[in-house]
Amino acid sequence: MRATSCIRRLALAGAFCLGALALASCNNGNESPRGGSGIRQETPAPGVEPTATALPATPPLPAPEELALERVFGWYDPQRPTHLEEIPDGSGSVYVSEQDGRLVEIIGDPGAAEGVSRVVLNIEDRVTTRVLEEGFLGFAFHPGVSRNGRVFVYYSAASPRRSVISEFRLGDDGEFDPTSERIVLEVSQPFGNHNGGMLLFGPDGFLYISLGDGGGAGDRSGNGQNLATLLGSVLRIDVDAPGVPYAVPPDNPFTGMTAANGEPARGEIWAFGLRNPWRLAFDPATGELWAADVGQNDVEEVDLIVRGGNYGWNIMEGDDCYKPEFDCGDVAPPGLIGPVASYTHRLGCSVSGGYVYRGQRLPSLKGAYVFGDFCSGSVWALRRSADRGELNTGTRDSGTLNSVATGAGWEVFEIVPGDHQVPAFGQTLDGEVYVLTYSPGIFRFVEK
């Protein structure tokens, strides 16, 4: 297994690896063969621009202490929660989507023993959950919700199987009217899995949507690399254009281009080559867009999404060759962007993307991207390393396969061991990060 991985990586390194770092890790039989990011490129492909400027270098932070999880909103037992966010209207209310089709408002101090929770939108009548990955998968409040009452939702529907992105309106009673639905976009889904499901508004005011490769296994239709389909992509659309369900922003990267198969490229696509980018997050401080892309059989990955970026699937799975299994660098288009961090299935089975911590309660976590694994429940903090250029696998089992590998210039720490199934995270407007679980319950981090 290790030898195979090294062969894969060496082949890739010959094609477009940054070089010595990856080769060195392969020469050491005790080291993670996936340590270092074989295809990572700091410079995106021509015509591809980062969406945001990184913060200036900051002094090194102490390693985050191992943290504990503390139950919050203890009066509320979420049923298969998929997303949490605060409504940006000054009320402080937090909302959680439940996979069967309910949006729940939670009112009260997170640490208090008692509070209020109530269903403010129920769309179980149009949501299908026949497959584990189907359901009410995401929502996003319009930045102007306090004026216009608009919330956007993403759910799975049947007959025909499809993903629906639509909009509901807030009524005077503080509930969203289920009859107010306005369809924004429907995407045909060949299979019930790999639906993506994230909705979020960027700092530019556009709506970003994550879509998986359509499902099945291995992306046999090649949707990930096909710019003529919306599948396997992050989309960016304008939901404020008058008279149309949505418009394509004029500065999207593939507008007017032709896909490799000769068909028109879809202008909605912001980035592609993704397998199942279940959760996305904008760093509220830098505007950088983070994605966690769920792997096939071997590798889970975390990516920084840039305009026009190709994240490799199904040529690459994380930083390994996938199709073909060997020498994939020979067939890969130039400029594939490798993960910032990745881990094998020894550590879990399905990455759940989180948020960049910008809260006040835990200074050592500031600026770290917090993410976890659905199966193992481990939660990690990933951040730019003070020692730029040094490979750092700073987990408990550093230097073995039982660690998260990072690209050069990044470091990662396990902050919470796996006690819960973690499908997703949430963030409130003050930058605090919440952990959604199947335990059930919502948690936040506390120092031990």
Structure tokens at 92: 């402080």
Residue 416 C-beta: closest distance to Ca ion, Å:
25
Q: Between 253 and 441, whose beta carbon lies closer to Ca ion?
A: 253
Among the candidate windows 115-123, 193-201, 410-418, 424-432, which touches Ca ion by CB under 5 A? 193-201
Among the candidate windows 184-192, 199-207, 247-255, 380-388, which touches Ca ion by CB under 5 A? 184-192
Among 290, 311, 357, 380, binds Ca ion (CB under 5 A): 311
> What's the rounded Cα separation, in Å, for the pair 402 and 29?
14
Under the binding rule (CB under 5 A), the answer on residue 33 touching Ca ion is no
> What's the rounded Cα separation, in Å, for the pair 278 and 374?
11
Among 195, 229, 350, 403, binds Ca ion (CB under 5 A): 195
Size of the site for Ca ion (CB under 5 A): 7
Residue 12 has φ and ψ, to the nearest 5°, of -70, -40
Residue 335 C-beta: closest distance to Ca ion, Å:
13
Q: Between 38 and 101, whose beta carbon lies closer to Ca ion?
A: 38
Q: Between 272 and 445, whose beta carbon lies closer to Ca ion?
A: 272
> What's the rounded Cα separation, in Å, for the pair 433 and 427?
5
Residue 203 has φ and ψ, to the nearest 5°, of -60, -15
Among 110, 196, 197, 312, binds Ca ion (CB under 5 A): 312
* Unique residue bearing structure tokens 């500065």: 251
Q: What is the DSSP string of 84-101?
A: EEE-TTTT--EEEEETTT
Among 196, 215, 309, 426, binds Ca ion (CB under 5 A): 215
Q: Between 195 and 296, whose beta carbon lies closer to Ca ion?
A: 195
Burial class from Cβ neighbours inside 10 Å (0-12, 13-18, 19+) for residue 29 reads exposed
Under the binding rule (CB under 5 A), the answer on residue 189 touching Ca ion is yes
Q: Between 167 and 301, whose beta carbon lies closer to Ca ion?
A: 301
Residue 313 C-beta: closest distance to Ca ion, Å:
5
Residues 6+ apart with CB under 8 A from 99: 79, 80, 81, 82, 129, 135, 136, 137
Q: Which residues bind Ca ion (CB under 5 A)?
A: 189, 191, 195, 214-215, 311-312
